[in-house]
């Protein structure tokens, strides 16, 4: 219970016969410690103006724990105040009116506790566990994701270059982190570089470092990203955007694991595992002269493919639940999840931006949603109209069978109508009628 100690003590005493156990506090700091140490399934907030008024601090407190449902304790007169009414509407699952009726209060608390347990169990089940003992998390139970996780387990144990392929937004960096965290190098650094985001004139200096005075503005020696990753894993995202002249330097490093800082004549041995990723077809880039074939074979020793979201629709609900919980602190507490229509619509959507698009839509919907459940409109998605399925009718099946039988009979009888009709057990006139009906080319003896 959060509120004046004397008032909450009286409320707790009136419920003593129902064996409820309460922790009471009127101090926000103490309340925060209690919530973070052992999050309760439900909480009670005294919302009487004389004791507790809505504030940003109180709003932050009730958003700290995602599965705690809040019950407001207040009088009928207090509900006339706009700020209290708005707070209750945004953050509270139920109300207990003063003076407290112990029997009714017990029923409300029991019902709220049940809902809290259901929410906790549901969202807990929807979240697929991460690879044991590691921070990175691959959400999903689809066959494609399970296969990828098995591949990652094998790839992680071999200290060889890996090429991670997949469309933009599928989570290629997440795959790289999982490989690193499951590898013998997990105690070393993991650095990620987007080759397409670095200015072309600075890529060499960023990757390989430079000596003091190597170029205008180089006032001191700088250790490059490759050198600073020694003992760990370097992830080069969008490797297809690396300029050709730097592809040569990277190829040389992959061959002997030695680098040379810009402006230096000394080579430095560096122990780094290279993981690369791309959303473009590197083989096509090789043909067009934009990517070196020898570098391609160097980085493509092992390969992991991130499936697009449209190939794993069974994972969408688990992903949505995971990110819903992640962003709950940014949204009003009244938002409890997704409507059935929104889940159906998410499964139907093509997701050109993949998981990144899903995350962005969910985050925006959680902020803008004004109801308890997120709708397709909140997600900015239109539910596709049920497509008319082109299932063949009985007449279509019969016509197809007749057409195939006639064509086969004519072929067996060397396009002779009379013999084909006898073969089918029908008259020649009937055969001609069926030939015209199904637009089958007339046989040679059709005028005979």
User: Is the pLDDT score of 444 beyond 70?
Assistant: no
For residue 133, the model assigns a pLDDT of 41
Give per-residue pLDDT as tens, 396-439.
Answer: 788 888 888 888 888 888 888 888 888 898 988 888 888 888 87
pTM to 2 decimals?
A: 0.63
- Give the chain's mean pLDDT: 85
Mean pLDDT of 239-249: 88
pLDDT tens across 304-345, in order? 999 999 999 999 999 998 899 888 766 666 688 898 899 999
d(CA 364, CA 224): 38
Residues of the chain by 3-state class (helix, strand, coil), percent to 5? 50, 15, 40
What are the Cα distances from residue 274, in Å, to 244, 250, 254, 297? 18, 10, 8, 13
3 state DSSP class of 65: coil
Phi-psi region at 140: left, alpha or beta (left = phi > 0; alpha = psi -120 to 50): left
Q: What's residue 411's pLDDT?
A: 80
Calculate the CA 5 to chain-centre distance: 44
141-150, 216-225, 285-294, 438-447: least confidently modelled range: 438-447
pLDDT band at 12 (very low <50, low <70, confident <90, very high): confident
pLDDT at position 128: 43
| Domain residue ranges of the chain, discontinuous segments joined by + | 5-126, 143-305, 312-379, 394-437
Q: Topology of domain 312-379, per CATH? A: Helicase, Ruva Protein; domain 3 (1.10.8)
Report the relative pairing of strands 273-278 and 373-374 from DSSP bridges: unpaired
Mean pLDDT value across residues 108-128: 74
Peptide bond into 99 cis (omega under 30): yes
262: buried, middle or exposed (CB in 10 Å: 19+, 13-18, 0-12)?
Answer: middle
143-305 CATH fold = Rossmann fold (3.40.50)
- Indicate if 312-379 has the same CATH topology as 5-126: no
Nearest to 364, CA basis, from 322, 330, 334: 330
Per-residue model confidence (pLDDT) at position 229: 94
Which CATH code for domain 5-126? 3.40.50.2300
**pLDDT tens by residue, 343-387:** 999 999 999 999 999 999 999 998 888 888 899 999 999 865 544
């Amino acid at each position: 219970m959060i509120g004046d100690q004397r008032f909450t003590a009286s409320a707790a005493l009136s419920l003593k016969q129902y064996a409820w156990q309460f922790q009471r506090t009127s101090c926000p700091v103490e309340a925060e410690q209690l919530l973070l140490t052992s999050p309760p399934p439900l909480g009670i907030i005294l919302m009487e103006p004389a004791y507790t008024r809505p504030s940003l601090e109180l709003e932050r407190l009730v958003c700290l724990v995602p599965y705690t449902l809040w019950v407001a304790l207040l009088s009928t007169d207090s509900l006339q105040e706009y700020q209290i009414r708005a707070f209750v509407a945004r953050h509270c699952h139920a109300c207990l009116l003063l003076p407290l009726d112990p029997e009714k209060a017990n029923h409300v608390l029991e019902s709220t506790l049940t809902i809290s347990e259901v929410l906790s169990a549901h969202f807990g089940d929807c979240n697929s566990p991460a690879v044991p003992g590691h921070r990175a998390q691959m959400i999903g139970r689809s066959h494609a994701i399970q296969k990828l996780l098995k591949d990652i387990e094998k790839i992680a144990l071999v200290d060889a270059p890996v090429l991670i392929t997949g469309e933009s937004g599928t989570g290629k960096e997440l795959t790289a982190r999982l490989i690193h965290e499951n590898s013998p190098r997990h105690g070393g650094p993991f650095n990620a570089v987007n080759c397409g985001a670095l200015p072309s004139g600075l890529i060499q200096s960023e990757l390989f470092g430079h000596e003091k005075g190597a170029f205008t503005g180089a006032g001191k020696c700088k250790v490059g990203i490759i050198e600073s990753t020694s003992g760990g894993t370097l992830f080069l995202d969008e490797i297809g955007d690396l300029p050709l002249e730097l592809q040569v330097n990277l190829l040389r490093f992959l061959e002997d694991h030695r680098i040379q800082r810009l402006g230096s004549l000394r080579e430095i041995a560096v122990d780094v595992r290279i993981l690369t990723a791309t959303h473009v077809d590197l083989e096509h880039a090789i043909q067009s002269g934009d990517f070196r074939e020898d570098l391609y074979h160097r980085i493509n020793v092992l390969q992991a493919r991130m499936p697009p979201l449209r190939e794993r629709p069974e994972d969408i609900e688990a992903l949505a639940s995971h990110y819903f919980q992640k962003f709950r602190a940014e949204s009003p507490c009244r938002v409890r999840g997704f409507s059935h229509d929104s889940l159906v619509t998410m499964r139907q959507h093509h997701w050109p931006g993949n998981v990144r698009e899903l995350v962005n839509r969910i985050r925006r919907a959680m902020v803008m949603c004004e109801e308890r459940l997120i709708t397709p409109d909140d997600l900015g998605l239109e539910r596709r109209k049920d497509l008319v399925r082109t299932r063949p009718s009985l007449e279509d099946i019969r016509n197809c069978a007749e057409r195939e039988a006639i064509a086969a009979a004519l072929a067996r009888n060397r396009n002779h109508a009379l013999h084909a009709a006898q073969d089918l057990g029908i008259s020649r006139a009937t055969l001609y009628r069926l030939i015209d009906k199904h637009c089958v080319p007339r046989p040679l003896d059709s005028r005979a």
